[in-house]
């Protein structure tokens, strides 16, 4: 049980309300809007009807009925129908700081996942195409969820469901045979594939026979023609070699690259099962599952020409993942434009009697775009993600040159700041919102940005370096005289935030929302900077210094681990 949960349990044990369980009281406790009001508040409005008394009166009665000697609290007060509880900082500081500085990066680790497998389908790039700005959100949201699930004791399986099937590969094979060569492909990579693919479409406008050649080439690929398969595998390798450079910069990795092609021979079993359950029917020559009863259009499985579709392969993938991983949850981090597709997919699984259909979850997100004119490097109409990252690093280096001309390893640090800024910008908004990306806003050292958090962490590290102490210095418990150094509202607010990290991570996976963590570490950074400005640390009174330094060390641990979970590096200097 986390410290926060223990405190909630303790509060609920003090409160007696007729016909209301301690568990219900505990679950009703919320953080007040202003930390100075208290650590927890109990809204009494929901009890008014049951007790036939006003919320204000209920709150006052609760306060008067608590018989605790109040050594755990600074205050318990009734305000406008709420009971606010403010814990005594000295009663909790030793426990909070001891856990953080002892456990370090493992603080907030948990066994709540009990090794249960979570499949996370994210990024899902297309073979023979480079990653563009539209891949940013799915990639960093999926990566953050992966790391947080792992920290909480789950077994995450990262899946990059490749777009690696369809007639476009017939077009590429024909185009490569006509205009491509291995040397250029080796030197230019996916750009060479893009070039011949664009040329194919331009030429096919006047030479429609090219389209017939492409269909024939794709048929040969489907039939396993060795030359076609060899070219297809080459295109796939070239693509993955390039996109993995982006993944490396974003600290994202995958356990499986099984994409559409992998499920090409696994769809018949699914379709046959749906047939046997009388779920399919023929409509205008196509095989469908009628979902009109559920206010949805039909789920199209096989076109009239016999071709399977995206939904067919996703059904096959769902069957395969359940059979292979026996997942506890299967999560799809895919843009909100696919909401209907996933509703249809999950409903078909439910109709097929799959009890695990309820464990399939679509995690939608909004679109990312750049401010008009902010990105000068364009290839066609696509804004490439690698270009965005490199532009951010370049701008970071320029900022570093102005702020700290003598900084060593400037480009290495600029990489951490620039790429981190892009990642944080994508994760610091509610994922369902559309984002308009701004380099200037993302790279600002003021405000709610990645560089602001990184800089705050560097400030904490600088203080600790200047103290010149070993880890033994942070040994706890503190004496009452030392704890007096934390008897101020800035320390109280910061400590209250630090202890909440385990519960923050639980909230992230409950809502599939990494922005809860990003906003949390912003709050921690802001609280630390207020603490730093209002309280001397290096030059503090001797009996105050160790407790304040330990609070600084604990803040550094939380910020660094929070950044890591989001996929962001924490430089030690800036």
The CATH number that applies at residue 43 is 3.30.1360.70
Asked, for residue 329, whether it belongs to a domain, the answer is no
Asked, for residue 38, whether it belongs to a domain, the answer is yes
For residue 267, which of 212, 323, 319 has the smallest C-alpha distance? 319
**Token pair of 117 as six digits:** 């497998």
What Cα–Cα distance (Å) separates residue 430 from each residue in 24, 149, 333, 516? Answer: 28, 19, 14, 8
The kind and range of the H/E element at 42 are strand 40-43
Asked, for residue 225, whether it belongs to a domain, the answer is yes
| CA–CA dist 47, 425 (Å, integer) | 41
How does DSSP assign 240-289, residue by residue?
A: HHHHHHHHHHHT---SB---GGGGTTSHHHHHHHHHHTT-EEEETTEEEE
Asked, for residue 236, whether it belongs to a domain, the answer is yes
Asked, for residue 532, whether it belongs to a domain, the answer is no
Q: What is the 3-state secondary structure (H, E, C) of 320-375?
A: HHHHHHCCCEEEEECCHHHHHHHHHHHHHHHHCCCHHHHHEEEECCCCEEECCCCC
For residue 572, which of 457, 452, 407, 464 has the smallest C-alpha distance? 457
At 71 the pLDDT is 75
Asked, for residue 42, whether it belongs to a domain, the answer is yes
**Token pair of 314 as six digits:** 């996703």
List alpha helices for 15-87, DSSP H: 22-28, 48-51, 55-65
At 442 the pLDDT is 84
| CA–CA dist 231, 235 (Å, integer) | 6
For residue 564, which of 2, 100, 107 has the smallest C-alpha distance? 107
Indicate the pTM of the whole model.
0.92
**Token pair of 427 as six digits:** 């994760």
Contact 469, 549 (CB under 8 A): yes
At 429 the pLDDT is 87
At which of 250, 269, 291 does a domain end? 250
SS3 at position 302: strand
At 68 the pLDDT is 63
At 84 the pLDDT is 95
Asked, for residue 23, whether it belongs to a domain, the answer is yes
Centroid of chain to Cα 47: 37
Strands 117-121 and 155-159: parallel
At which of 214, 232, 250 does a domain end? 250
At 70 the pLDDT is 60
At 452 the pLDDT is 97
Rg (CA), the chain: 28
- Would you write out the chain's pLDDT as a tens digit for each of its 574 residues? 788 889 999 999 999 998 899 999 999 999 998 888 889 999 999 999 989 999 999 999 999 998 766 678 888 999 999 999 998 888 889 999 999 999 999 999 999 999 999 999 999 999 999 999 999 999 999 999 999 999 999 999 999 999 998 888 999 999 999 999 899 998 999 999 989 998 998 999 999 999 999 999 988 998 889 999 999 999 999 999 999 999 999 999 999 999 999 998 999 999 999 999 999 999 999 999 999 999 999 999 998 888 788 899 999 999 999 999 999 999 999 999 999 999 999 999 999 999 999 999 999 999 887 776 444 333 445 789 999 999 999 999 999 999 889 899 999 999 999 999 999 999 998 999 888 888 888 888 888 999 999 999 999 999 999 999 988 899 889 999 999 999 999 999 999 999 999 999 999 999 999 999 999 999 999 999 999 999 999 988 999 999 999 999 999 999 999 999 999 999 999 9
At 376 the pLDDT is 39
Domains held by the chain: number? 2
Asked, for residue 517, whether it belongs to a domain, the answer is no
Which structural domain range is residue 204 located in?
167-250
Residue 450 CB neighbour total at 10 angstroms = 29
At 18 the pLDDT is 87
List CB contacts of 179: < 8 A, sequence separation 6 or more: 196, 199
At which of 42, 64, 87 does a domain end? 87
State the distance between the two ends of the chain, measured CA to CA, in whole angstroms.
37
């Amino acid at each position: 049980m986390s410290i926060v949960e223990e405190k909630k349990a303790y509060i609920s044990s003090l409160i007696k309300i007729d016909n209301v369980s301690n568990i219900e009281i505990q679950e009703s406790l919320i953080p007040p809007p202003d930390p100075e009001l208290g650590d927890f508040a109990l809204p009494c409005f929901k009890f008014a009807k049951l007790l036939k008394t006003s919320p204000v009166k209920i709150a006052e009665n609760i306060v008067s009925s608590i018989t605790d000697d109040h050594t755990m609290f600074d205050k318990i007060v009734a305000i406008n129908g709420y009971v606010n509880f403010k814990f005594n900082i000295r009663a909790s500081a030793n426990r909070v700081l001891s856990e953080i500085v002892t456990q370090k990066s493992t603080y907030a680790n948990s066994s709540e996942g009990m090794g249960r497998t979570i499949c996370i389908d994210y990024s899902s790039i297309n073979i023979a195409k480079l990653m563009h700005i539209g891949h940013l959100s799915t990639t960093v949201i999926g990566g953050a969820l992966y790391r947080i699930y792992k920290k909480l004791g789950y077994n995450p399986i990262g899946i990059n469901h490749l777009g690696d099937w369809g007639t476009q590969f017939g077009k590429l094979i024909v185009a490569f045979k006509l205009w491509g060569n291995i040397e250029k492909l080796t030197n230019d990579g996916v750009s060479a594939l893009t070039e011949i693919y664009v040329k194919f479409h331009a030429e096919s406008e006047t030479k429609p026979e090219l389209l017939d050649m492409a269909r024939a080439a794709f048929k040969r690929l489907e039939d396993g023609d060795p030359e076609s398969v060899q070219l297809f595998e080459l295109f796939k390798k070239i693509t993955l070699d390039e996109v993995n450079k982006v993944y490396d910069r974003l600290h994202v990795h995958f356990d499986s690259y099984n994409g559409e092609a992998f499920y090409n021979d696994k769809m018949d079993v699914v379709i046959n099962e749906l047939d046997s359950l009388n779920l399919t029917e023929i409509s205008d020559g196509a095989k469908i599952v009628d979902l009109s009863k559920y206010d949805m259009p039909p789920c199209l499985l096989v076109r009239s020409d016999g071709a399977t579709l995206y939904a067919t392969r996703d059904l096959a993938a769902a069957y395969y993942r359940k059979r292979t991983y026996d997942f506890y949850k299967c999560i799809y981090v895919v843009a909100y434009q696919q909401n209907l597709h996933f509703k249809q997919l999950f409903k078909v699984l439910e109709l097929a009697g799959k009890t695990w259909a309820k464990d399939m979850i679509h995690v939608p997100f909004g679109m990312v775009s750049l401010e008009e004119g902010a990105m000068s490097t364009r290839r066609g109409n696509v804004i490439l993600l690698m270009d965005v990252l490199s532009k951010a690093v370049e701008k970071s280096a320029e900022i570093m040159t102005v702020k700290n001309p003598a900084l060593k390893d400037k480009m290495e640090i600029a990489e951490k700041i620039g790429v981190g800024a892009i990642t944080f910008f994508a994760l610091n908004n509610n994922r369902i919102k559309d984002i308009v990306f701004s380099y200037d806003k993302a790279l600002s050292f003021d405000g709610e940005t990645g560089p602001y958090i990184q800089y705050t962490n560097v400030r904490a590290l600088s203080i600790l370096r200047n103290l010149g102490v070993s880890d033994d210095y942070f040994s706890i418990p503190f004496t009452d005289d030392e704890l007096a150094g934390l008897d101020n509202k800035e320390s109280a607010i910061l400590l209250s935030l630090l202890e909440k990290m385990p519960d923050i991570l639980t909230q992230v996976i409950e809502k599939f929302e990494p922005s809860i963590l990003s906003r949390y570490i912003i709050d921690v950074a802001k609280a630390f900077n207020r603490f730093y400005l209002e309280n001397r640390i290096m030059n503090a009174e001797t009996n105050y210094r160790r407790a304040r330094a330990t609070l600084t060390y604990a803040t550094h641990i939380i910020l660094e681990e929070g950044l890591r979970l989001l996929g962001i590096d924490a430089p030690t200097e800036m």
